[in-house]
Amino acid sequence: MNLTDAHCHLQDPRLAPHLDRALEQCRSAGIRRWIINGTRESDWPAVAALAGRIGGAEAAFGLHPWWQAERSANWLAILEAFLVARPSASIGETGLDRWMPSPDLADQLAVLRAHLELSRRLARPVTLHCLKAWPELAGAVRDCPPSDRGLLLHSYAGPAEMIPRWVQAGARFSFSPAFLHPRKANVRRMFRDIPLERILIETDSPDMPPPPDAALLALAAPEGRQLNHPLNLRLCLDALAADRGLTPGALGDILERNVERLFF
Ligand SMILES: [Zn+2]
């Protein structure tokens, strides 16, 4: 079986001491590709370096709403240069977040629109993050649509009633191990109503870990918290397969076709 982690942050310095061993463990479980998403200008070089060094890794470059306040005046030109230098890279992660402390939604929207325009101009797919700003995100994508390569709503936990609209806008939805927490049971249930050909799986590693008793492997972080091991991608496959009445192997083939169509 071949699986792809559609959204992760393997450039995160907390993973560095574990990375080579963790990827070896992933490969022996059939996980062979990773879309590594940048979050801020300062991590784009590390994302590019990992995509060059790790077989099966692909880069995405973007500004996450949590980090965009620290961007330089030149950030958009720098972002474009990273994308032009790597024609197979996508754009992400970017988006809107009203959950963070003191969100500046007007600034987030300006940065998001710049990413969406770049997606159109360079014909690259885009990965979007959204917390508590779904109507605004839908409005931005309607007014400033990304490239018709498509978009990924990563760790989708938005309203169920918006799913048909997003499907029409070309969106894919990724399921994360964090959705196995009992408090996210409604999100897991919602994924049963998403068209199967629009579903991808991701870990968001090293963040968003599954419940500790579900984790296949955990990694200790310096501050004592557990990191999300990229091997936990298998939890997404097993949960979705159970919910859809498919074998993990059959579902894995479908998910690979889905991710292939968006990113490769
Ligand atoms: Zn992320």
Q: What is the pLDDT of residue 93?
A: 97
* Cα–ligand 1 centroid distance for 38 (angstroms): 8
* Cα–ligand 1 centroid distance for 117 (angstroms): 21
Q: How far apart are CA 68 and CA 89, in angstroms?
A: 20
One-letter-per-residue 3-state SS of 85-134: HCCCCEEEEEEEECCCCCCCHHHHHHHHHHHHHHHHHHCCCEEEEEECCH
Q: Which residues contact 64 (CB under 8 A, 6 or more apart)?
A: 39, 40, 93, 94, 95, 129
One-letter amino acid at 162 equals: M
pLDDT of 37 strictly over 90: yes
* Cα–ligand 1 centroid distance for 9 (angstroms): 6
* Cα–ligand 1 centroid distance for 202 (angstroms): 9
CB 40 within 8 A of CB 240: no
Residue 141: give its domain's CATH number. Answer: 3.20.20.140
Instruction: Give Cα 155 to chain centroid, integer Å.
Output: 7
Q: What is the pLDDT of residue 5?
A: 98
Q: How far apart are CA 117 and CA 115, in angstroms?
A: 6
Q: How far apart are CA 194 and CA 258, in angstroms?
A: 13
CB 203 within 8 A of CB 178: no
Q: Read off the pLDDT band of 222 (50, 70, 90).
A: confident
Smallest CA-to-CA distance from 194 within 150, 243, 235 is with 243
Q: What is the pLDDT of residue 218?
A: 81
* Cα–ligand 1 centroid distance for 137 (angstroms): 17
- What is the dihedral angle through the alpha carbons of 47, 48, 50, 52, rounded to the nearest 10 degrees? 160
Domain limits for position 72:
3-263
Three-class secondary structure of residue 175 per DSSP: strand
* Cα–ligand 1 centroid distance for 53 (angstroms): 21
Q: Is 8 left (phi over 0), alpha (psi -120 to 50) or beta?
A: beta
Q: What pTM, to 2 d.p., does this model score? A: 0.97
* Cα–ligand 1 centroid distance for 17 (angstroms): 20
Q: State both tokens at 18.
A: 């574990």
* Cα–ligand 1 centroid distance for 128 (angstroms): 9
* Cα–ligand 1 centroid distance for 88 (angstroms): 19
* Cα–ligand 1 centroid distance for 148 (angstroms): 22
* Cα–ligand 1 centroid distance for 172 (angstroms): 15
Q: State both tokens at 62.
A: 């973007």
Summarised one tens digit per residue, pLDDT across range 135-186 is 999 999 999 999 999 999 999 999 999 999 999 999 999 999 999 999 999 9
* Cα–ligand 1 centroid distance for 190 (angstroms): 20
* Cα–ligand 1 centroid distance for 254 (angstroms): 23
User: What is the chain's alpha carbon radius of gyration, rounded to the nearest angstrom?
Assistant: 17
Q: Read off the pLDDT band of 80 (50, 70, 90).
A: very high
* Cα–ligand 1 centroid distance for 12 (angstroms): 11
* Cα–ligand 1 centroid distance for 245 (angstroms): 29
Tally the domains of the chain.
1
One-letter amino acid at 224 equals: G
How crowded is residue 9: how many other Cβ atoms within 10 Å of its Cβ?
26
Q: State both tokens at 149.
A: 């390569």
Q: What is the pLDDT of residue 157?
A: 97
Average pLDDT, the chain: 96
